[in-house]
Amino acid sequence: MSKNAIPDDIHNILGFVIDGRPMSTVEYDKLIKYFAKRRENALREEYGDNIPPSLANPPLGPPVDPKVKAAQVRKLFIETRQLHFGLFFCERVTKQKSF
């Protein structure tokens, strides 16, 4: 197998992606690990031992703005509180109707 040859299991999983077939968590994890390793090797080839700190760790998702995150948490808290109040209110109305 050459240095850049794609392992059979990764090749098969990429076929799943291309075909739009559902994949298991293990298959996603294999792809993520495979591409993370390829990324690491490419960084070493490009920068040697002088990899810029901003590139050292692979991105795990979109950058999170702390203000956006705080707003999302507040929204979830309000929705949860409204849900609990709604359930409590419905429960009280049901009990009152049964008397």
pTM for the whole thing?
A: 0.56
Alpha helices in 7-65 (DSSP H): 8-19, 25-47, 53-56
Tell me how far apart the alpha carbons of residues 45 and 55 are, in angstroms, rounded to a whole number.
Answer: 13
pLDDT in tens, the chain (99 residues): 566 789 999 999 999 999 999 999 999 999 999 999 999 999 999 999 999 988 888 877 666 667 776 777 777 777 676 665 555 555 555 555 555
CB atoms within 10 A of CB 40: 13
Cβ–Cβ under 8 Å, residues 71 and 79? no
Phi-psi region of 79 (alpha: psi -120 to 50; beta: other; left: phi over 0): alpha
